[in-house]
């Protein structure tokens, strides 16, 4: 919460903005003299391109200062943002098993919407997008913590100001620009679980004189892998996550299952199921060999600089680069893209009937993915002033961003080669000849070695942008002031992602491939914003923006193009009946053009998890195959792809609320939001396809085998959904000065009143708020204490209880989720040699994350984007400045 300064209050009636200027929070702020000769600084606030006196305006903004970030105890920008109450249902944190580089990235999902609906800025400029999102979402793990001055979170749609990707809100990360000297920082995290140790080393330097300044920051960050086996309860008798795709092959024929029990009992991570209908099946415990979070190493550098060329002309710029390498691991490849078969006449067929084989190449090794992500970003611009009329502020900028991703997937399997080797009758995969386990295992190693494949995924996102604006005070008469800004942007983007031809052919198991994109996009935008200061301390602002997107992509047979344009308006009002009370409201329309992956990606294969209720429940077959009908569902081959016929998404955002500075020590805020989204682009989930099949009796999107089980499903992007979410944000701050130290309390709480979504035209909306993974309440409270050179902080994070959703989803195995509290504590000491020491503990009471399931446990049965699974973590930080 920010109050007006005394100086600002004195001149507010005669001056609200003076002259508008520059992109929001670019770091340049000029002072304007008032009539009495004092100076008032006009600041740039996220949500408006017009500089103003007051931090609080018609748009709701949460500000996290460098001190707030420090007191949170969290190690990365991604973790800090994930704990914000506006990140309602948690955010993506890269985990093993996800393709297109997604296993090595993090993102933020404001208001529970996907990351592509949240615009992330660095000093008011768009950050490069990730390849896994087709450039639509920024990777928040790329930002060095040491450079962050503050984070501003605009909690409403802002398409009229920032463009089509600001649907749910805007996060602006503001970097340090006025540092002088040299600073060294080292910090480390030590979780209670095995692995997960993280270390960071940072060097920051800066220099300034009367003409300008320059800062340079380098950061090295390294985090060790966290293994699934150290998180999940594999030794629990209720554990149920096993796969029929086993290192000891299983065969399925008309007479049932067949395998080799002797080999199964000797192989690692296998379970010989000998009861009833599972007789002869060897099940594989895949989670015991996988990494949850990979080994990560990142080097980042960022420099800010500005220089006064003349009295009314300034050059400013920024250059940044980052290189990250992440090593993730998934279980050995299941030969599942094209299941091999063994004919009844094969010399090594123990059943004398045709068999479908369920094999896993664990003997060849686990699926290791090495991901390299390189990002560079250059920005430069001229900022000037022309003494004409009330004065004209102007600027011209250029920016170039590039992000490249290379993923090397080892130990994938070529299905055709496996089939050829089985047909050759040279491999006794069921050990019908009675080999020793060692000889049989060596034979299987040789088979998979001949079929081994290393997959390669490459992607590159390039953006070139030029923009400019002119701003001025249009009218200044008594108690009425009108300021305006007008500007334009032109951006050229090209995005390409490609897998190696074999992975894209649909003949390789174990990886993702085929979702190739080769596309370009040109965007032209023009915007205008007006801000009026009226009598009785009423401020009005209006913004309008025109965006035009021309996109073209190669879909294989030919080039396909699409053009989208839209005008997005926004209106806001703020009223101060007294200096301590602000009442505000804002309304705006949003617009999001389909991204290049949604429009132009070719077909890609994935394995979606879902319950086949038609076969298992309605068909009364659950007892025939408990593994296929396991609690929580099983994986099914699913093809995904883009759609050149997509239309833009359209939405509307409304916020209103009050900010009350009760006293100089106590400030309160209450805000209400309502956000709607129509024509939402999404791929139909496999669960939804199966529900449609149940309702209609059949589905062209589901292909079943002779037994009636799912063989393959088809899902493609389409405009099929709508969404409405609403709720309340509450914030409070309180400070207290005493003889034994200064105390400060900051808290925020978010309440999701509604999160209703439809996935088909004419469908009744379904409200997810309060159900599992959709908590209604999320908040945090920070208590800080300072006394001389010592300080301490206690931060509590809260996630509300959630209903299982069994009744709504038609299930009986989901668990009610209890309320969750996580406590972070720390103590800091600043010594006389210009340095400091910090020691703290995150998740002090080792609060365990709740499981999805009722009465059973499974692999990754926790929402890792919402809860902490690392347990109690000790951290310390050493800083030294010169």
Place of tokens 């400045």: 881
Instruction: Give pLDDT tens digits for 36-93.
Output: 444 444 556 666 667 655 556 678 889 988 888 888 878 788 888 888 899 999 888 8
Helix (H, G, I), strand (E, B) or coil at 392: strand
Assign domain 6-234+292-333+368-415+452-603+641-683+716-881 to its CATH architecture.
Answer: Beta Barrel (2.40)
Q: Residue 691 has what pLDDT?
A: 75
Instruction: Please report how the helices 415-423 and 437-451 are oriented relative to each other, as an axis angle in degrees rounded to 10.
Output: 130
Residue 137 to residue 139: CA distance in whole angstroms: 7
Contacts of residue 424, Cβ cutoff 8 Å, sequence gap at least 6: none
* pLDDT at residue 22, as a whole number: 29
Match 């239309």 to its residue by tokens.
Answer: 647
Residue predicted with more confidence, 452 or 476: 452
DSSP string, 775-808: -SEEEEEEEEEEETTEEEEEEEEEE--BB--HHH
Beta-carbon contacts of residue 726 (< 8 Å; ≥ 6 apart): 672, 673, 674, 675, 752, 753, 754
Q: Alpha-carbon distance 198 to 141, whole Å?
A: 14
- Annotate 50-114 with three-state secondary structure: CCECCCCCCCCEEEEEHHHHHHHCCCCHHHHHHCCCCCCCCCCECCCCCCCCHHHCECCCHHHCC
- Which pLDDT belongs to residue 19? 28
Query: pTM of the full predicted structure?
Result: 0.86
As a whole number, mean pLDDT of residues 314-335 equals 94
Q: Where are the alpha helices (DSSP H) in 248-407?
A: 261-266
**Predicted pLDDT at 599:** 85
pLDDT average, residue stretch 257-284: 82
- Alpha-carbon 194 to chain mean position: 25
The encoded tokens of residue 49 equal: 């391109």
Q: Which of 273, 275, 270, 428 is nearest to 346 (CA)?
A: 428
pLDDT at 632: 61
Q: How far apart are CA 394 and CA 375, in angstroms?
A: 30
- 3-class secondary structure, 733: strand
If you search the block for the tokens 């060329």, which residue do you land on?
309
Q: In which residue are the tokens 């109690």 written?
A: 872
Dihedral-angle region of residue 53 (phi above 0 means left; psi in -120 to 50 means alpha; beta otherwise): alpha
Position 8 pLDDT exceeds 70: no
Confidence of residue 762 (pLDDT cuts 50, 70, 90): low
pLDDT score of 254: 86
Instruction: With CA atoms as reference, report the closest residue to 384 among 402, 396, 371.
Output: 396
φ/ψ of residue 677, rounded to 5: -145, 125
**Could you give phi then psi for residue 33, rounded to 5 degrees?**
-85, 140
**Structure confidence at residue 23 (pLDDT):** 30
**Residues in the chain, overall count:** 882
Bridge partners of residue 539, in order along the sequence: 533, 574
* For the ranges 83-92, 234-243, 252-261, 429-438, the one whose mean pLDDT is highest: 429-438
Q: pLDDT band at 713, cuts 50/70/90?
A: confident
Are 258 and 238 a contacting pair, CB within 8 Å? no
Extract long-range pairs of 706-712: CB within 8 Å, 24+ residues apart: 708/615, 708/619, 708/621, 709/612, 709/615, 709/625, 709/628, 710/612, 710/615, 710/636, 710/637, 711/637, 712/636, 712/637, 712/638, 712/639
Instruction: Categorize the per-residue pLDDT at 825 as very low, low, confident or very high, splitting at 50, 70 and 90.
Output: very high
Q: How far is CA 397 from CA 36, 269, 469, 633, in A?
A: 35, 58, 9, 52
Helix (H, G, I), strand (E, B) or coil at 454: strand
Q: What pLDDT score does 54 carry?
A: 54
Q: Model confidence at 15, in pLDDT bands (50, 70, 90)?
A: very low
Instruction: Provide the pLDDT for residue 634.
Output: 74
**Residue 20 — very low, low, confident or very high, per pLDDT cuts 50/70/90?**
very low
Interval 226-236: pLDDT, tens: 999 999 888 88
SS3 annotation, 601-655:
CCCEEEEEEECCHHHHHHCCCCCCCCCCCCCCCEEEEEEECCCCCCCCEEEEEEE
Question: Which tokens go with 176?
Answer: 């340090």
Distance CA 171, CA 152 (A): 6
Task: Tell me what the pLDDT averaged over the chain comes to.
Answer: 86
Stronger pLDDT, 633 or 869, i.e. the higher one: 869
- pLDDT for 132 beyond 90: no
Confidence tier at 836 by pLDDT (50, 70, 90): very high
Cβ-count burial 205-236 (b if 16+ within 10 Å, e if not)? bbeeeeeebbbbbbbebbbbbbbbbbbbebee
pLDDT in tens, 85-115: 999 998 888 888 777 777 778 888 899 998 8
Strand order in the sheet with 250-253: 256-258, 250-253, 355-358, 341-342
Across 215-241, average pLDDT? 90
Residue 169 bridge partners (DSSP): 118
Count of C-beta atoms within a 10 Å radius of residue 370: 16
Among 138-147, 428-437, 741-750, name the one with the lowest average pLDDT: 138-147
Residues of the chain with pLDDT > 70: what percent?
91
Residues 620-631 have pLDDT tens digits of: 887 777 777 776
b/e burial code for range 185-204 (CB count within 10 A of at least 16 → b): bebbbebeeebbebebebeb
What pLDDT, in 10s, does the model give residues 150-184? 999 999 988 888 888 888 999 999 988 878 899 99
681-710 average pLDDT score: 78
Q: How confident is the model at residue 30 (pLDDT cuts 50, 70, 90)?
A: very low
pLDDT at 515: 73
Alpha carbon 166 to its chain's center: 15
pLDDT band at 329 (very low <50, low <70, confident <90, very high): very high
Q: pLDDT tens digits for 512-526?
A: 666 788 999 999 999
Q: For position 638, what pLDDT does the model report? A: 79
CB 243 within 8 A of CB 269: no
Q: How confident is the model at residue 217 (pLDDT cuts 50, 70, 90)?
A: very high
Q: What is the mean pLDDT of residues 750-761?
A: 87
pLDDT for position 694: 77
Cα(334)–Cα(247) distance, rounded to whole angstroms?
A: 9
- The predicted structure's pLDDT at residue 711: 84
Q: Of the candidates 743, 746, 736, 728, which has an alpha carbon nearest to the alpha carbon of residue 72?
A: 746
Q: Residue 761, Cβ neighbours under 10 Å: how many?
A: 10
């Amino acid at each position: 919460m920010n109050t007006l300064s005394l100086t600002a209050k004195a001149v507010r009636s005669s001056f609200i903005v003076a002259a508008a200027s520059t992109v929001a929070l670019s770091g340049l702020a000029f002072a304007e003299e008032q009539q009495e000769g004092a100076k008032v600084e006009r600041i740039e606030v996220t949500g408006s391109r017009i500089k103003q006196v007051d931090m609080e305006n018609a748009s709701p903004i949460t500000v996290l200062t460098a001190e707030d970030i420090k007191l949170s105890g969290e190690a990365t920008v991604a973790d800090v943002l994930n704990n914000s109450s506006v990140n309602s249902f948690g955010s993506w944190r890269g985990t093993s098993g996800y393709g297109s580089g997604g296993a090595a990235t993090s993102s933020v999902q404001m208001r529970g919407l996907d990351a592509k609906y949240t615009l992330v800025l660095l000093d008011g400029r768009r950050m490069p997008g990730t390849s896994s999102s087709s450039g639509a979402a920024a990777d928040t793990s790329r930002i060095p913590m040491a450079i962050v001055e503050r984070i501003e979170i605009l909690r409403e749609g802002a398409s009229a100001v920032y463009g089509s990707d600001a649907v749910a809100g805007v996060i602006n990360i503001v970097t340090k620009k006025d540092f002088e000297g040299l600073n060294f920082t080292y910090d480390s995290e030590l979780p209670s679980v095995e692995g997960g140790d993280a270390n960071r080393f940072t060097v920051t330097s800066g220099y300034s004189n009367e003409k300008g300044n320059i800062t340079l920051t380098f950061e090295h960050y390294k985090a060790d892998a966290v293994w699934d086996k150290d998180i999940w309860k594999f030794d629990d008798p209720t554990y149920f996550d096993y796969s029929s795709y086993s290192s000891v092959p299983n065969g399925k024929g008309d007479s049932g299952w067949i395998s080799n029990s002797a080999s199964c009992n000797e192989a690692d991570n296998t379970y010989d199921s000998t009861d009833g209908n599972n007789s002869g099946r060897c099940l594989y415990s895949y989670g015991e060999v996988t990494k949850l979070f990979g080994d990560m190493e990142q080097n980042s550098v960022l420099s800010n600089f500005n220089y006064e060329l003349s009295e009314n002309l300034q050059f400013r710029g920024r250059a940044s680069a980052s290189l990250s390498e992440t090593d993730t691991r998934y279980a050995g490849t299941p030969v599942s893209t094209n299941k091999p078969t063994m004919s009844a006449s094969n010399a090594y067929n123990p059943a004398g009937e045709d068999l479908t084989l369920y094999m896993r190449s664990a003997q060849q090794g686990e699926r290791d993915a090495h991901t390299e992500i390189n990002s560079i970003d250059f920005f430069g611009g001229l900022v000037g002033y022309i003494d004409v009329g009330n004065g004209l502020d102007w600027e011209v900028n250029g920016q170039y961003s590039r992000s490249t991703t290379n993923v090397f997937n080892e130990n994938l399997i070529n299905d055709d080669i496996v089939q050829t080797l089985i047909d050759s009758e040279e491999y006794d995969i069921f050990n019908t000849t009675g080999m020793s386990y060692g000889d049989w295992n060596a034979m299987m190693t040789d088979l998979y070695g001949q079929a081994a494949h290393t997959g390669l995924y490459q992607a590159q996102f390039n953006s070139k942008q030029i923009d400019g604006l002119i701003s001025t005070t249009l009218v200044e008469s008594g108690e009425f002031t009108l300021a305006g800004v007008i500007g334009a942007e032109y951006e050229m983007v090209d995005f390409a992602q490609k897998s190696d031809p074999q992975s894209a052919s649909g003949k390789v198991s174990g990886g993702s491939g085929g979702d190739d994109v080769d596309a370009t996009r040109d965007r032209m935008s023009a915007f205008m914003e007006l801000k009026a200061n009226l009598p009785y301390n009423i401020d009005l602002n209006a913004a309008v923006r025109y965006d035009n997107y021309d996109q073209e992509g190669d879909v294989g047979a030919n080039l396909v193009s699409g053009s989208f344009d839209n005008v997005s308006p926004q209106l806001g009002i703020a009223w101060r009946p007294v200096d301590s009370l602000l009442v505000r409201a804002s309304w705006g329309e949003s617009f999001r053009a389909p991204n290049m992956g949604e429009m132009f990606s070719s077909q890609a294969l994935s394995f979606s998890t879902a319950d086949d209720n038609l076969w298992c429940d309605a068909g009364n077959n659950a007892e025939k195959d408990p593994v296929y009908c396991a609690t929580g569902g099983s994986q099914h081959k699913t093809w995904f792809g883009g759609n050149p016929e997509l239309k833009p998404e359209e939405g509307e955002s409304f916020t209103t609320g009050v900010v009350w500075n009760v006293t100089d020590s106590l400030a309160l805020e209450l805000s209400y939001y309502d956000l709607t989204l129509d024509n939402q682009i999404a791929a139909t989930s496999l669960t939804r396809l199966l529900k449609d099949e149940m309702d209609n009796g059949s589905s062209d999107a589901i292909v079943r085998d002779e037994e009636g089980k799912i063989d393959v499903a088809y899902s493609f992007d389409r405009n099929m959904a709508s969404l409405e979410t609403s709720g309340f944000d509450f914030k409070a701050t309180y400070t207290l000065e005493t003889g034994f130290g200064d105390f400060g309390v900051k808290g925020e709480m978010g309440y999701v009143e509604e999160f209703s979504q439809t996935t088909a035209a004419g469908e009744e909306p379904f409200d997810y708020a309060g159900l599992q993974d959709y908590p209604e309440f999320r908040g945090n409270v920070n208590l800080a204490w300072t006394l001389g050179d010592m300080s301490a902080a206690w931060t509590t994070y809260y996630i509300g209880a959630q209903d299982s959703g069994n009744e709504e989803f038609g299930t009986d195995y989901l668990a009610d989720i209890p309320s969750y509290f996580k406590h972070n504590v720390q103590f800091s000491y600043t010594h006389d040699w210009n340095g400091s020491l910090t020691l703290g503990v995150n998740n002090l009471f080792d609060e365990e994350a709740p499981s999805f399931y009722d009465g059973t446990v499974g692999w990754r049965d926790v929402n890792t984007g919402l809860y902490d699974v690392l347990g109690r973590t000790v951290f310390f930080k050493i800083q030294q400045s010169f």
